[in-house]
Structure 1
Amino acid sequence: MNSVIFYSLPEVLLLLAGAILLDWWIGDPKWLPHPVIFIGRWIGYWERRLLPHRTKRSNGILLMLIVTLSSLALVWILTSVASWIHPWLGYAVHMWLISTTIAIKGLKDAAMLVYDRLSRGELTKARKYTGYIVGRDTDGLEEAELSRATVETVAENTVDAVIAPLFFALIGAAPLAMLYRSVNTLDSMVGYRNTKYLHFGWASARLDDVLNWIPARLTGLMLMIVSAFYRPASAVQAWRAVVAFAHLHPSPNSGIPEAAVAGSLGIQLGGLNRYGGVISERARLGWATRTIEKEDIIHTIRLLYGVSYLVMGGLLCVACGWLV
């Protein structure tokens, strides 16, 4: 069987470029089964069996190992069998699976649902759609807070849903990209610092932090570069915001893209949020030079796509240079 370990660097780079094109074009169509849905069900299956036990941290480690290793193994088998049948089928399966680990179009579409409702003055619907993409309570939020929540989500997920999966796909194509996506899904399902998951989700949350460490910093750098294309001064402000504020975020990684976006746009992110009715004060990132408005959602989407264009250009330049 011809597996990914036999792919050359140009082949892997072109696979990543093709995956980005697929995501730009079709995203995650509802009629096509999505691997993350199956990963979520697999997590839920094992959570129901492991969580009730008293040794929650060790069972959480077991959950993490079962989900990540099974995801890695299954995708390696699928891509190896496809490559064995025909090399071009192997390329196609790799490309599609990698595309399912990124969500450029999905992020844009989700954010635009909020923006469109705000533009129409439909606050109730805007709150509903914001609630689909954030964990905080959205009832009663006004336009500025709904816009802030959406901007923060797009900024943070530029790491989780774009750069990080592509980073691991560069190292190990679809199998490693899917391993990353399984860790990220684990973190989103059990990685909460509450009574239920504090110990059980500890391993998943810490592994997610480790895997995102390099991608988060690459994303911050790319956001600064992309900001320079809009306004050179905003790139400097993005850098200053990362240096001054990123370390204040409870996550070792999420503060970097959020601070970069805040500095680039000249707004302040963070502040008071409610989770299940409980008020939480999140670190304030950036300088409040103006009030956040719905148009900042559009600006953040442009930064998101700018980062993806930057990655695409880099992939094609390196691949062509290598081949020539």
Structure 2
Amino acid sequence: MFYAVSAVVLGFLLDLALGDPHWLPHPVRLIGWLIARLEQLIRPVLPKTPRGELLGGILLTLIVVGLSGGVSWCMLHFAAVYLGKLPAYLLEVVMCYQLIAVRSLKAESMRVYRELQKGDLASARIAVSMIVGRDTEKLSPAGVAKAAVETVAENTSDGVAAPLFYLLIGGAPLGFCYKAINTLDSMIGYRNEQYLSFGKFAAKLDDAVNFIPARLCALLMIAAAFFTGLDGPGAFRIWKCDRKNHKSPNSAQTEAACAGALGVQLAGNAFYGGVLFEKPTIGDARRMVIPNDIRLANRLMVVTSLLSLAAFSLMKLLIIFLLH
């Protein structure tokens, strides 16, 4: 239906205007609380074996994803039946807004940029630690800038394009299912002793649901490189060569396009919890990453987001037209 597309568009515009105010309760925080609470309840019940932990992780994932999609569907259904179509529509607009992260991604990464511009490396390290999982205490200015650029590049897909993709397929309920899967992966999808078995299903499910959106987003990011005056041919070349240079089947897609557009090298070795993880690099080391690359990465992210909204909306409208 056409109103479903307009709800997503209005939600996108609300995100651009308002971002994610810290005073406003956010459903993703509730999903995170639910994951943590259910983990505490499920782990003691099942055997402390790889199979038992795998089953526990599957159960946790199915409950969280089911509740996330089911509760949002029930809220919309209740609003439509008891309050009317307009309140239900406005509720879905707000739900869509809460699942898109253009402004907050830009705001958090630009905080890192401003601290680096001031020459305050300690504050820049703290700012970037809020948006990355790696150790940041010993990062150089170039390392801090690189971490911020990588986060912007990866989350262009996870935080914007993929939510838009699923919102336009199945509205807010499917969007919340996607966000639940993404949050599960960020909380339990680690390849360490604690979560290797318990988080395996969530991590694989996240890989599956991001497979198509990540690749569409990378192609749209390449197009955005041309629109923003960055290196479009370079974005395509590095994407073609380095899009598989990551353990995740999806993460390097947009990182490769971004690295090529900026003409820098991303990824590579990093410390997590004091342990060095050796990872392949993405892109050519033509120059060092500098603070201004964070600003350019955000410009690329915003234009990619707009192209994603336009492309996915047109796809949805075309499907509606063909089905009717």
TM range (shorter): over 0.9
- Unaligned residue ranges in structure 1 (runs of 5+): 1-7
Measure the CA separation in 1 of the matches of 2:170 and 2:43. Answer: 31
- 1:102-144 CA distances to partner (integer Å, 9 max, x unpaired)? 1000100100110010010111110001101000000021110
Contact (CA 8 Å) 2:164, 2:308: kept in 1 or not? no
Q: Say which of 173, 176, 189 aligns to 2:174.
A: 176
1:252 equivalent in alignment to 2:219: no
The 5-angstrom pairing of residues 61-100 of structure 1 reads: 61-84=58-81, 85-100=83-98
1:3 matched residue in structure 2? none
**If the length of structure 2 is used for normalisation, what is the TM-score?**
0.93
- 1:34-74 CA distances to partner (integer Å, 9 max, x unpaired)? 00011011001110122343210011000000100011110
2:262 matched residue in structure 1? 265
1:45 matched residue in structure 2? 37
- 1:221-279 CA distances to partner (integer Å, 9 max, x unpaired)? 110111011337x2221111111111121110000000000011100001221111111
2:101 matched residue in structure 1? 103
Percent sequence identity is 40
2:163 matched residue in structure 1? 165
Q: Residue type matched to 2:281 in 1?
A: R
Pair 1:43–1:318, CA change in 2 (3 A): closer
Classify the secondary structure of the residue corresponding to 2:276: strand
- Unaligned residue ranges in structure 2 (runs of 5+): none
Q: Say which of 269, 293, 298 aligns to 1:296.
A: 293
Measure the CA separation in 2 of the matches of 1:199 and 1:211. Answer: 20
Classify the secondary structure of the residue corresponding to 1:133: coil
Contact (CA 8 Å) 2:270, 2:276: kept in 1 or not? yes
1:15 equivalent in alignment to 2:7: yes
Contact (CA 8 Å) 1:13, 1:315: kept in 2 or not? no
Classify the secondary structure of the residue corresponding to 2:38: helix
The 5-angstrom pairing of residues 146-295 of structure 1 reads: 146-231=144-229, 234-295=231-292
Displacement of 1:320 in angstroms is 8.7
Measure the CA separation in 1 of the matches of 2:201 and 2:317. Answer: 40
Measure the CA separation in 2 of the matches of 1:43 and 1:315. Answer: 30
Contact (CA 8 Å) 1:102, 1:166: kept in 2 or not? yes
Pair 1:319–1:178, CA change in 2 (3 A): closer
- Give the total of aligned pairs: 314
**If the length of structure 1 is used for normalisation, what is the TM-score?**
0.93
Contact (CA 8 Å) 1:224, 1:239: kept in 2 or not? yes
